[in-house]
């Protein structure tokens, strides 16, 4: 299989390495190709500059579109996810057999703590959710062979903000009502994408998150405890959002098994807890 990863950053590099291990041909598209894993065929280009996209590989079987915005604001999101998609799709020499579009569970606007799955109607309230839903709709009009992957909050090496937050000790965190959060380890995101590139007849939409939506307070309390810090101070706000609980049953039904099924396993690996015991 010949795979073009458009926006081959942190997750893309892990995906590329997994694909190379299985003998696939991988092209990594990004502005700075010096960080690509060994064996990836570099495509130095800028998704926002069509003139740099004229030399895309002629024959690819699969496209993975997963760029990262330069900054977190609406203009940057619209540029990379909307215009970037238009530019790369227009520059392809032929349509891929399968296209994976990496989106986000931010397209769901649910804030009452309810469970969401692939059947839940998106109703984004944030600019990022609205832009990503627009991207999904745009891509679906370009190809019938589209698999949208809505990913929850990614953590892992280099994505350790919650660990640092808990380490500060005694911080204030909403406890009642519980604010549910959803997360997935970076390596599991990459493994999910590889899985969906390789399986026969995937469905058009999957939610990629670990097996355990949990209250944010619980995660921070656990991280503080294992780091020997003070537990967070629990706050009560009857009018606060309760977040949402993302269900990954469809992904599991497809045969995928998480290496990091919950936050304890994932953060435990980052903190090397087993080595300390």
| Domain spans in the chain, listed from the N-terminal domain onward | 2-158+183-213+248-256
Q: Give the pLDDT score at 109.
A: 86
CATH 3.30.450.20 fits 2-158+183-213+248-256, yes or no: no
Rounded to whole angstroms, the Cα distance separating 214 from 265 reads 14
Please say if the pLDDT value at position 275 is more than 90.
no
For the chain, the residue count is 277
Rounded to whole angstroms, the Cα distance separating 34 from 32 reads 6
Q: Which position has the token pair 């435990």?
A: 268
Angle ∠(141,210,181) on CA atoms, nearest 5:
90
216: left (phi over 0), alpha (psi -120 to 50) or beta: alpha
Phi then psi for residue 29, to 5 deg, are: -100, 125
Q: Is 102 helix (H, G, I), strand (E, B) or coil?
A: strand
Secondary structure element (H or E) that encloses residue 43, with its range: strand 41-44
pTM of the model: 0.96
What is the CB-side half-sphere exposure of residue 268 using CA atoms within 13 A?
A: 13
Rounded to whole angstroms, the Cα distance separating 166 from 137 reads 38
User: For the chain, what is the mean pLDDT?
Assistant: 96
Q: Which position has the token pair 């780091």?
A: 227
Rounded to whole angstroms, the Cα distance separating 87 from 94 reads 14
Mean pLDDT of 37-63: 97
Confidence band for 44, pLDDT divided at 50, 70 and 90: very high
Question: Over pLDDT 90: what percentage of the chain?
Answer: 96
Please say if the pLDDT value at position 277 is more than 90.
no
β-partners of residue 215 are 180
Confidence band for 274, pLDDT divided at 50, 70 and 90: low
Confidence band for 273, pLDDT divided at 50, 70 and 90: confident
What is the CB-side half-sphere exposure of residue 148 using CA atoms within 13 A?
A: 21
Rounded to whole angstroms, the Cα distance separating 265 from 274 reads 10
Please say if the pLDDT value at position 36 is more than 90.
yes
60-111 pLDDT, tens digit each:
999 999 999 999 999 999 999 999 999 999 999 999 999 999 999 999 988 8
């Amino acid at each position: 299989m010949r795979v073009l990863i458009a926006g081959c950053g942190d997750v893309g590099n892990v995906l590329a390495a997994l694909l190379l291990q299985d003998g696939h041909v991988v092209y990594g598209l990004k502005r700075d190709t010096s960080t690509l894993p060994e064996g990836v065929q570099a495509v130095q280009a800028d998704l926002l500059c069509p003139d740099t996209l004229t030399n895309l590989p002629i024959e690819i079987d699969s496209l993975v579109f997963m760029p990262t915005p330069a900054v977190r604001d609406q203009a940057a999101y619209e540029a990379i996810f909307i215009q970037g998609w238009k530019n790369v799709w227009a520059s392809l020499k032929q349509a891929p057999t399968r296209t994976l579009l990496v989106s986000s569970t931010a397209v769901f606007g649910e804030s009452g703590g309810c469970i969401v799955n692939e059947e839940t109607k998106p109703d984004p309230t944030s600019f990022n959710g609205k832009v990503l839903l627009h991207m999904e709709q745009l891509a679906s009009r370009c190809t019938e062979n589209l698999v949208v992957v809505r990913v929850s909050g990614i953590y892992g090496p280099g994505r350790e903000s919650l660990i640092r937050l808990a380490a500060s000790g005694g911080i204030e965190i909403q406890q009642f009502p519980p604010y549910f959060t959803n997360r997935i380890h970076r390596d599991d995101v990459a493994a999910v994408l590889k899985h969906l590139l390789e399986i026969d007849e995937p469905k058009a939409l999957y939610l990629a998150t670990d097996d355990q939506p949990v209250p944010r307070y619980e995660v921070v309390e656990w991280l503080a405890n294992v780091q020997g810090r003070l537990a967070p101070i629990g706050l009560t706000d009857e009018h606060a959002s309760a977040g949402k609980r993302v269900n990954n049953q469809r992904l599991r039904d497809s045969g995928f098994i998480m290496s990091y099924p919950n936050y304890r396993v994932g953060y435990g690996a980052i903190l090397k807890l087993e080595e300390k015991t």
